[in-house]
Structures are given as structure tokens and as C-alpha cells.
Amino acid sequence: MTELLQQVRVIDPVSEIDGLFDVLIADGYIQAVTSHICDISSDTQIRDCQGLVLGTGLVDLYSHSGEPGFEERETLLSLLQAAAAGGFTRVNILPDTSPAIDNPALVAQLQQKREGQGGNFSPPSPLSSPLPLLHLWGAITLDVAGKQMTELADLASAGVVGFTDGKPLENLALVRGVLEYLQPLGKPVAFWPSDRQLTANGVIREGSDALRFGLPPIPASAETTAIAALLELVATIGTPVHIMRVSTARSVELIALAKAAGLPITASTTWMHLLLDTKAVKSYNTSLHLDPPLGNLPDVAALRAGVRAGVIDAIAIDHTPYSYEEKVQAFAEAPAGAIGLELALPLLWQYLVETGEFTALELWRALSSSPAECLGQKVSAIVPDQPAEVTLFDPQQTWKVERKSLYTLSQNTPWLGQQLKGHVVQIWC
């Protein structure tokens, strides 16, 4: 099919373009991007795209899948459908499934399932879009238990995108060994720095709101001391590292200093940590129980400034589905995490771009080209002769977040039942 998108707003962080263009897409490639395209074939489908945004495909650095092991929370199919509905063309799954993604056989099995060779992916993806590309993080330790290193070289050969447990690794001798072993493999490695002894049984960031709501606190030092230790190892060994789930102002400072000193690090925060602070926990909605917890107001301000400045390279979704029964508990007892693949772009656009705090390019870069770069990948620019890996977004379309409007199987989000502005029209990938 040949499609002409007329007068669409092109946001391309690769080429640093934000402007109105006609875009011609044919046979999966961008054919032309100019102010006006008049010479087209008779079978070209013409779409009036005034008011719509066409951006490079969104890339989610890390999210959780229920499958294998917890298919009642999320299947690979429902996750990919949700990602497509949220504008993502690439999704990277954390290895904490059951069984964990810690051996080449499971990597091959999941890759075959995505390709339709080992399972049923015949149901159409949302909006007649293709399903996003699925990549798998390989576990650093067996069963993501933090004790015994996996066969990292075998997993690398099997095609994992990189290595992480997605959980804190507190054995620094093990972390050092991993950094030394991974150096020649050339695969990204991501760590979530968190001192679980300092975290203890806390569920909210330490501060006045923690006292007001009567919830056990987590000090910022639970994150910052772990980051400082990791940075020392990186400075000693030199293996590039990605720091996941940055959530405090002091962490942003430490990362900025490390980057200024030339350490080979990248970093990400999650979309909810950019939008909400501890005051939101007043509702005791268990979908606001996150790990790391939401920050105080200065943390949110520092994270936003860090993303804009490039100190925080990328915004991750960290989509974490749970069943209704798992989340209907006391706040402190409910498992930590919330869904987000279908919600992140509309909410970030509404509260960061439309308010003028972020430019459209700044937000799109943090959701698209920058997360790809953290993985050693690239996204295609929206220029002629490049593959069409793009997202068409309507920032003005309104919709209600409810079961029938979500592709994900789980509903653990604080925005359930609310009206949102901004909806993805289609992806190409």
C-alpha cells in the first residue's frame, strides 16, 4: 500500500526536525518528505493529517511480561498489542518471567512465539497496525536470584538485547565480576541500584508526606549509595553501564558528575516518576505503590530537568501488570508496579509538552532515539529511502481509560476511569 500523509507534523529527533510536511510511505519505506506532494499514483491512499503528529517509532527500554508463568496478568500478545496502541515499535522485556529468561532455550522459544512459529499471534494488532518488534533482556543471574551468574556468552549468542536482572544486585563482588566478564561481549548491561537494607519495608519516599500518610519511608540514600558504589566499579573497570529507575534529585547529581568525568554510563527514569510525586499517594491507590517509590517535588523537578539536559538519557515505561486480586490489598502489602504502555505518551504529552515545560522534540527523543541508543541501536530518521518505523499520534483525541479501551489484560493504573487527551492512530514498523 502507498499512503500519503498530508500536512502532518513531523517530529524526528534523529534529524532534529519539527515541522509540517507531506509524507509518502510505500512498501514499508519513506518515499518522500516535502512541503507538498502532488505527483502521486492513482492507487495512493490519501490521509488528511492536519493536527496529527508523525514521529519516529517509540522504544520502551524495559517492561515486564506476564508470559511465561503469569499469563493471567499479561500475555506476550496482549503486551505487544498494548505497546502498538501506545505508539511503541520496539519493546524490551525484562527477564523476571517464570521461568526466568536465563538460558538460550527459553530465548529461542519466546523469539519463535513472537514470529508466530510456536504460538498463535494471528489476532490483529490494534488499529490495523503491525505488532512491535520484541527484544528480550537476558538475566545476569540464574532465576534472577542474584547469586550465580548465568552463561552470559551463550545468552549473547542466542540474541538477547542485553543483560539485567531488573532487580537490585547487592553483591558487589558479583557485579564486579559481571562487568569484567561482559566487557568483550559488547552487549548493554543495566543495573537497578537500590540498597535493600536501607529500603527495608518502606513503600514511600522519606519526607513529610510519608509522615502525613503513616506509611513506612524509604530514604533517598537507599538509591544514591547504591549508585555511588556502582559508579566506583564502572570507573575502575570501564565497562559501559545503564542505570535503571533513577528516582531522586541526588541521583541525578551523581550521574551528571559521573558523565562529566567521562564515565561510560547512560540512565533512565520511568514515566510515572516524571508525572507524579508523593502527594498523589494520599489516595492510597495501590497502583501508586511503585519501586522505587514516587519522589518528592524536588525529585520530580530534578528528573524532568535531567531528561531535558540529557543527564537522564531515556524515559522507560516499566509496564508492570498485576491482576485485580493482587492489587486489592492494603497499600503497603500490594505488589509494586503499574501498567503504562498505552498511557505514557498521551499523559507525558499532555502534562509536559502542552504545558510548555518540554519541547515536542525533547519528549520524543527521550521516548524514541535515546532509549534505542542506550541499547546500542538506532531508529530510522523520517527521510526518504529509510524504513518506515514511525508513530502517528493525535494529541487532541480524547478517550476514557477503561477495560474495553485497553489492550493490556491488567488494569492496575491510577488513571483507570479517567478521561485522557491524546491517542495513537497507527504505527508502522
Cell of 302: 530534578
CA distance 241 to 191: 7
- The residue type of 285 is N
What's 125's DSSP letter?
A: P
For every residue of 56-103, DSSP letters joined together read: EPEEEEEE---TTT-TTT--HHHHHHHHHHTTEEEEEE-S-SSS-S-S
Cell of 91: 519493546
Q: Which residues contact 80 (CB under 8 A, 6 or more apart)?
A: 91, 114, 125, 131, 132, 134
Q: Scan for cell 543495566, then name that residue.
A: 190
Residues 388 and 427: beta-carbon distance below 8 Å: no
Phi, psi (rounded to 5 degrees) for 242:
-105, 130
pTM, two decimals, is: 0.96
Region for residue 71 given its phi and psi (left: phi exceeds 0; alpha: psi -120 to 50; beta: otherwise): alpha
Tens of each residue's pLDDT in the chain, 429 residues: 899 999 999 999 999 999 999 999 999 999 999 999 988 888 899 999 999 999 999 999 999 999 999 999 999 999 999 999 999 999 999 999 999 999 999 999 999 988 763 344 444 455 567 899 999 999 999 999 999 999 999 999 999 999 999 999 999 999 999 999 999 999 999 999 999 999 999 999 999 999 999 999 999 999 999 999 999 999 999 999 999 999 999 999 999 999 999 999 999 999 999 999 999 999 999 999 999 999 999 999 999 999 999 999 999 999 999 999 999 999 999 999 999 999 999 999 999 999 999 999 999 999 999 999 999 999 999 999 999 999 999 999 999 999 999 999 999 999 999 999 999 999 998
CA distance 223 to 170: 12
Predicted confidence at residue 122, as pLDDT, reads 43
Q: Which residues contact 149 (CB under 8 A, 6 or more apart)?
A: 140, 141, 142, 174, 177, 178, 181
Q: Which residues contact 231 (CB under 8 A, 6 or more apart)?
A: 254, 258, 263, 265
CA distance 261 to 264: 9
CA distance 123 to 377: 29
Cell of 365: 527523543
Start-to-end CA distance of the chain, whole Å, equals: 14
Predicted confidence at residue 128, as pLDDT, reads 63
Predicted confidence at residue 40, as pLDDT, reads 84
- The residue type of 366 is A
* Residue among 362, 340, 191, 357 nearest 271 (CA): 340
195 flagged as catalytic:
no
* Residue among 366, 202, 420 nearest 290 (CA): 202
CA dist 360 → 11, 341, 351, 364 (Å): 7, 19, 12, 6
Residues 326 and 334: beta-carbon distance below 8 Å: yes
Cell of 372: 534505542
- Of 60, 318, 385, 394, the catalytic one is 318
Residues 132 and 86: beta-carbon distance below 8 Å: no
Q: Which residues on adjacent β-strands are paired with residue 11?
A: 18, 55
CA distance 390 to 175: 37
Q: Which residues on adjacent β-strands are paired with residue 45?
A: 3
